[in-house]
A and B are shown apart, each in its own frame.
Chain A
């Protein structure tokens, strides 16, 4: 698939409409799901998907199949775009330390509408709930709210290295859970 993927992205870079359609057919649903995971409404998610594909066209010539599979590249571009969008909308919640104090440094004052996002992510949240507290908190804040590791480290008043390994272990553990769920 590597060579075909590389050629596909060069056709996308050249503005070949069929190639853009093929890219959407392969990854559109996945990109939409991530957008739904992070953004409050369906309309927001659909707008974001359009923007992501424009961004994929603009960056298509940078895809390097020796560095990552195409799905990884597409999802990386998508997540970066969605997180930029979240930051621009300033709709992220004011988060606290694990002890409950306000993190104090947040500029995002509008509370997020939690219900829709949480409903959509119910399965994930259920699985995250089984993780140790630090892993759970770090995953929620980085993976679902788009905070950087540094921001989470400040919010939780914990060393960056600790946050990093908590997140890494948490994500791998979630993946393992998911594998064993499939195996059942």
Chain B
């Protein structure tokens, strides 16, 4: 197994146990994962079942039970870890608190890992409570990533009005991919993500904390030297979202996405 050629079905099945127990070395584990994703769905399902069976086989494990107190200790340990991460970011979150901020509702959401942040934010949105704006301040010029959370009340009804009633199903679907667009200028406030589901051919654009502007922002796609406009979005400074119709999600996922402001300047770009 020294070449980078994808593994056959037989190899995948043979190494399924080692993969499940984390016994493959880094290179092989990566090759295994690539080969797994390349395998037919039936083989993937077979491997998933086999691995779950093997790893949860309690007859291979000691017959002992944790003390009832352990549950509380575990919950406290996790809460403490979350608190430590929040505390680490608190000085950042307290700079320049924005109008209408309600502060304490979403203090539990850990920052620092933006993918996680977006998902957490989306979860909260889907769950109906809060909208978040998240931006970089002047201090980034000094080499620090400064995040500010401003918390603004919103309701799922408002969000559904913006995007449509399928939002919750869409965001809760494991096939939903997140494409994050990053600001070209670290002082640019706001965050933008495009969410794509290649199975249902649906796509949404979601923006938070984008400055209010009388004119809309434009999302466009750059591929093979060609630029195609995908849609416009208006921001009231808080949250903005829209469905992207008639998009090829596969193309979208492989293209560079850009958001331009009303003066035609590119403000955000995907990786």
Q: Which residues of A contact B (CB under 8 A)?
A: 2-3, 6-7, 10-11, 13-17, 20-21, 24-25, 28-30, 32-34, 36-37, 46, 49-51, 53-54, 57-58, 61, 64-69, 71-72, 75-76, 79-80, 83, 120-121, 123-124, 127, 142-143, 148-150, 161, 164-165, 167-168, 171-172, 174-175, 178, 181-182
Query: Would A80 and B77 count as touching, CB distance under 8 A?
Result: no
Q: Which residues of B contact A (CB under 8 A)?
A: 1, 14-15, 17-18, 20-25, 33, 36-37, 44, 48-49, 51-67, 70-71, 73-75, 77-79, 81-82, 108-110, 113, 115-116, 119-120, 123-124, 172-175
Query: Would A32 and B66 count as touching, CB distance under 8 A?
Result: yes
Quick one: which of A75, A83, A120 has the most chain B CB within 10 A? A75
Query: Would A57 and B75 count as touching, CB distance under 8 A?
Result: no
Known: A32-B64, A33-B64, A54-B78. A3 touches B174 (CB 8 A): yes
Query: Would B64 and A175 count as touching, CB distance under 8 A?
Result: no
Known: A3-B173, A149-B23. A20 touches B70 (CB 8 A): no
What is the CA–CA distance of A70 and B119 in the complex, to the nearest angstrom? 18
Note all chain A residues with C-beta closer than 8 A to B62: 33, 36-37, 120-121, 123-124
Note all chain A residues with C-beta closer than 8 A to B115: 61
Query: Would B75 and A17 count as touching, CB distance under 8 A?
Result: yes
Query: Would A148 and B25 count as touching, CB distance under 8 A?
Result: yes
Cβ 8 A contact of A76, one of B21, B53, B74, B109: B21
Query: Would B70 and A178 count as touching, CB distance under 8 A?
Result: no
- A117: shortest Cβ distance to chain B, in Å? 9
- B118: shortest Cβ distance to chain A, in Å? 10
Known: A69-B51, A168-B15, A181-B59. A46 touches B66 (CB 8 A): yes
- B19: shortest Cβ distance to chain A, in Å? 9
Cβ 8 A contact of A14, one of B17, B63, B74, B109: B109
Query: Would A29 and B119 count as touching, CB distance under 8 A?
Result: no
Cβ 8 A contact of A172, one of B17, B55, B70: B17
Known: A72-B20, A175-B53, A175-B54. A10 touches B119 (CB 8 A): yes
Additional A-B contact list (12), CB under 8 Å, known A14-B116, A46-B70, A171-B18: A14-B120, A14-B124, A15-B120, A20-B78, A28-B70, A36-B62, A49-B70, A68-B20, A72-B51, A149-B18, A149-B25, A175-B54
What is the CA–CA distance of A90 and B61 in the complex, to the nearest angstrom? 23
Query: Would B123 and A14 count as touching, CB distance under 8 A?
Result: yes
Query: Would A123 and B63 count as touching, CB distance under 8 A?
Result: yes
- A181: shortest Cβ distance to chain B, in Å? 7
Known: A65-B174, A76-B20. A11 touches B48 (CB 8 A): no
Note all chain B residues with C-beta closer than 8 A to A29: 65-66
Cβ 8 A contact of B21, one of A14, A24, A171: A171
What is the CA–CA distance of A3 and B113 in the complex, to the nearest angstrom? 22
What is the CA–CA distance of A181 and B185 in the complex, to the nearest angstrom? 64
